[in-house]
Structure 1
């Protein structure tokens, strides 16, 4: 679990849970195959697909100096029907769309 930082809980992330897709922020140097291996090993599930995108860092100001935070990578992991990651999936999760 060195590459996975934490799971992402946003509006889009919750909508993706209904499609059996889970969103994680990962280390920026992680590859798709590494993330697939870690998720399968740690959670004991089968992974169909892993999609990734790099998000830009945010601008920050400290007095007169303008800087920015580091960019980070987000992975969307798709699981087959019947598999789920227990701490992230609840029975009462229903779609309102």
Structure 2
């Protein structure tokens, strides 16, 4: 795959309190494309960050229904990938690519 495709798969890191605590267990959380598969996510993380990936877990967070004045809107669904790294590997999310 090309490097541009890797950037299309990995959309953004998830920086929350829960994902920061997961970082202590060699895990990193990313928002990924809805059509991305686990092998594609693994290849993209290894290529972009230069680390060894142990496993990838994915989940789809359903969009919430939100109201603003008299209109009802819906947030879009988001696919997340929880990437477990090999021992001794780490990714500096704040430092960026």
Which bracket does the TM-score occupy, shorter chain normalised? Answer: 0.7 to 0.9
Runs of 4+ deviating beyond 2 Å: 60-65, 87-90
Higher radius of gyration, 1 or 2: 1
1:73 paired residue number = 79
Which blocks of at least 5 consecutive residues in structure 2 are unaligned? 1-6
- How many residues align structurally? 89
Query: Contact 1:50 / 1:78 at 8 angstroms: preserved in 2?
Result: yes
TM-score (norm 2): 0.82
| 1:10 and 2:29 are equivalent in the alignment | no
Which blocks of at least 5 consecutive residues in structure 1 are unaligned? 91-97
1:23 paired residue number = 29
Q: Which has the higher helix share?
A: 2
1:88 paired residue number = 93
TM-score (norm 1): 0.82
